[in-house]
Homo-oligomer: A and B are copies of this chain.
């Protein structure tokens, strides 16, 4: 299940008239004019709503003479309605995977081949990626005095003060009495 289909599903259901239509169709199929009448809308507007509902596949239609009857697709409705209860589990994994190539691209863009950081990205998302990239070579659980941290950063970039500050602000590290230490990854803003 891709997230945007789930979003589209809920977006479509987030409308009083469309919910009303679903509710009505549960009692049996109806044609457009009937729906328009019950809801007090013009046929054009009903057509619009019905199209939205068909896009997410919760209704389908059958023609009889020159009247089109709309039917509720209850199975699909149930499946989609419950989808929100399933996401989150392993989905997040997939997202991380996709992100990886994206990250590599950003890293290649901002670091020269000799491993120096050219500039600090202005865009928040990209900044986080390069901050993470650099901090990754520090050891978890180890305590670093400020001068060691400065020296470490200078391998990559001259403006160590900015990088150091960003690390703190973005929760990659914390400082206690001038001693720096990596935070557990769950705290990182990435």
- The interface of chain A, by Cβ under 8 A from chain B, is 3-4, 6-8, 10-16, 19-20, 22-27, 33-34, 36-38, 40, 74, 77-78, 81-82, 84-85, 87-89, 91-92, 124-125, 128, 170-171, 187-190
Question: Mostly helix, strand, loop or mixed at chain A's interface?
Answer: helix
B7 close to A38 (CB less than 8 A): no
A20 to B88, CA, bound (A): 8
Tell me whether A77 and B85 are in contact (CB under 8 A): yes
List B contacts of A189 (CB < 8 A): 33-34, 36-38
| 18 extra A-B contacts, CB within 8 A, seeds A22-B84, A26-B87, A34-B187 | A3-B19, A3-B23, A6-B19, A7-B15, A10-B11, A10-B12, A10-B13, A10-B14, A12-B14, A22-B87, A23-B88, A24-B88, A27-B88, A27-B92, A34-B189, A37-B128, A37-B190, A77-B85
| A25 CA to B91 CA, complexed, in Å | 12
A91 and B124 CA atoms in complex are apart in Å by 39
For residue A94, give the distance in angstroms from its CB to the closest CB of chain B. Answer: 11
7 closest cross-chain pairs (CB), A and B: A37-B189, A11-B14, A26-B88, A23-B88, A10-B13, A10-B14, A40-B125
20 residue pairs A–B, Cβ–Cβ below 8 Å: A3-B20, A6-B19, A7-B13, A10-B11, A13-B14, A14-B14, A22-B84, A23-B87, A23-B91, A24-B88, A24-B92, A27-B88, A33-B189, A34-B189, A74-B85, A77-B84, A81-B81, A81-B82, A81-B84, A81-B85
